[in-house]
Structure 1
Amino acid sequence: MTRRRDVLALALAAAAAAGLRPAAAQGTASLDRIRQSGRLRIGVTSAEPWFFKDPMAGTWSGVGVDLGRQLASDLGVAMVPVETSWANCVAAIQADQIDVMFVLDPTEERRKAIDFPDSPLFYYAAGALVRPDQTATAWSDLDKSGTRIGVTLGTSVDRTVTETLKNASISRFSNNDEAVAAFAAKRVDAVAQFHPALVVQYARLKLGKVVLLKPVTPVATSAGIRRAADPAFKDWLSERFAALYAAGKPQEYFAAYLKTRGIDPATVPGLAREKWA
């Protein structure tokens, strides 16, 4: 009887250990799993020029989508867009709902929960969409009591504005479009986002002006992935990001998207900091 109990206890322990393995194995073999599944699941959310969903066709386009297609092609798999939000994407990565979220800045807080490739994806800078009569040239010019600033909840711009502006009133919105809609409705006086997103929003609204507020600090954006003991997926993305940036692919995708919105890419700062004036 004792022997049977010992055998049963060992069996239960083995089953429990096996029950823990899938989560670990899931992280340690993510690159193999993607190839075996035949799918690269990318997070998408309403945020031009990175992600845009055609309301009629239901299809996604944008810089992040083009990057996803390129990397999926490199892996020999299909790209699958999975809707999320900036505020929820880290949890979606942890829950294995998506494999990668492009244009996600590697903040210290996010690094506590997920991982990022070592090579940057590309660069941008925080700016603001302001009223035509606004003379702000620095962040301090907006940091005044009574000034209402709109930001997108959960973004690194949200964090930066919160840390930098102590006197202005900050309103947080679930996505970029909602923040700009509040600007159009005069519920906020300015919208703080990264400059590529602001350029697209301005072209659509024809309202206000886009300014890169001083100090202009290049921000290296990246892509969020699950933390794993096996660095194969992280290392592969790092190599591909470096190669794509060197080949000018992010800027190529950005320029192509701007043209679909009637914007001349030569008139706005691009995604390569080396070419900024």
Structure 2
Amino acid sequence: MKIRSLILTPIAALALAPMAHAQNGGTMARVKEAGELRIGVVSAEPWFYKDPTSEQWAGIGVAMGERMADDLGVALFPVETSWANAVAGLQANQFDIMFVLDAIEARKRALAFPENPLFYYAMGALVKEGSEAKTWDELDTPETRIGVTLGTSLDLSVTEMMTQAQISRFSSNDEATDAFAAGRIDAVVQFHPALVVQYSRLRMGKVLLPEPVDPVATSAGMRQEDSTEFLDWVNTTFADLYAAGVPDELFGAYLASKDIDPNGIPGLLKEDW
């Protein structure tokens, strides 16, 4: 199924801290010495999900971290943060890596990113059932109230692209979706895998990928440091995992865990769209 045909029915500015460099041998040395890989996590399905009962973290980003920690022979240690604080958290050495962090230019001035992408997704919108909008321009009207998650790359994109719509910013994906469910906003803009999961929770509105649809490469941020050992290892690992189709495997497994049929839903490998 082509991504441009996906429609599921009854189914402020980025704040960055100054550049900082890790010391004492670099991240790889710290990970091996401590015996743990610390990853930043934030409540945002399907990337990161904290079970309210067990308080255990799951999601695609967590599963990716588990695979990489296993490769290094260390334990995985999730550190809770937010999208808005992810850059500062990395620079302050609160965690070693943050998955699903897009390598936009502002972040690249503050963090290190691998050349190879983690995987790809596309910007989508959860809109009211009766909406006839098919393009981003048709959503950009003075009457349209759009919700986006503060501090994400989507926050930046929507701010630049939507010059007429009313933009509301929320601290998490769930808060934005809850505002949609309550009728306080008319559309939620998130990347398509997140919207699929959000729709499965709400069972209202419809998910669409407004034209133009462009694949967006997501990545993982790390501290800038003199040693490139950790960065080089992440870069090679991302290439190997992508070539093996692991991102789609993890996405499909997470959808299945939420009783969502992954068939017909574009995955995370753009070549299959």
Instruction: Please give the TM-score of this superposition, normalised by the length of structure 1.
Output: 0.90
User: Counterparts of 1:243 and 1:177 in 2: how far apart (Å)?
Assistant: 32
Q: Tell me the SS of whatever aligns to 2:68.
A: helix
Number of residue pairs aligned between Structure 1 and Structure 2:
254
Name the aligned partner's letter for residue 136 of structure 2.
W
Q: What do the CA deviations read for 1:9-53 (whole angstroms, capped 9, x no partner)?
A: xxxxxxxxxxxxxx8662742111111110100000000000000
CA shift digits 1:131-177 (9 cap, x unpaired): 01001111001100121000000111111110001000000000000
Distance 2:21 2:153 in 1: 29
Contact 1:149 1:168 in 2 (8 A): yes
Contact 2:22 2:223 in 1 (8 A): no
> Where in structure 1 are there 5+ consecutive unaligned residues?
1-22
Compare the two structures and name the one with the higher helix fraction. 1
Q: Whole-Å Cα distance in 2 between the matches of residues 27 and 142 of structure 1?
A: 50
Looking at structure 1, the residues matched to 259 and 147 of structure 2 have their Cα atoms a distance apart, in angstroms, of 25
Seen in structure 2, the aligned counterparts of structure 1 residues 24 and 50 have a Cα distance that, compared at 3 Å, is closer
> Pairwise CA RMSD of aligned residues?
1.1
CA distance in 2, matches of 1:31, 1:99: 9
Whole-angstrom distance in 2 between the partners of 1:235 and 1:201 = 35
Q: Note the 1:160-175 alignment, pairs <5 A.
A: 160-175=157-172
Q: Return the match for 2:89 from 89, 92, 95.
A: 92
**CA distance 1:173–1:180, shift in 2 (3 Å):** same
Partners of 1:27 and 1:230 within 8 A in 2: no
Q: 1:178 aligns with which of 175, 178, 198?
A: 175
Write out per-residue CA displacement over residues 94-130 of structure 1, whole angstroms, 9 at most, x where no aligned residue: 0000100000000001111111111100000000000
Whole-Å separation in 1 of the counterparts to 2:139 and 2:238: 35
The answer as to whether partners of 1:27 and 1:227 remain within 8 angstroms in 2 is no
Q: Tell me the distance in 2 between the aligned counterparts of 1:262 and 1:210.
A: 17
Query: Residue 211 of structure 1 corresponds to which residue in structure 2?
Result: 208
Q: CA deviation at 1:199?
A: 0.3
- Is 1:111 the counterpart of 2:89? The answer is no
**2-side partners of 1:217 and 1:177: how far apart?**
24
Distance in 2, Cα, partners of 1:138 & 1:231? 42
Determine which structure has more spread, i.e. the larger CA radius of gyration.
1
Taking only the aligned residue pairs, the percentage that are identical comes to 59
Q: Deviations over 1:66-112 (max 9, x none)?
A: 00000000000000000000000100000000100000000001111
Where has structure 1 moved over 4 Å in runs of 4 or more? none
Conservation of the 8 A alpha-carbon contact between 1:27 and 1:226: no
1:223 aligns to what?
220
Gaps of 5+ in 2: 1-19
Q: TM-score if structure 2 supplies the norm length?
A: 0.91
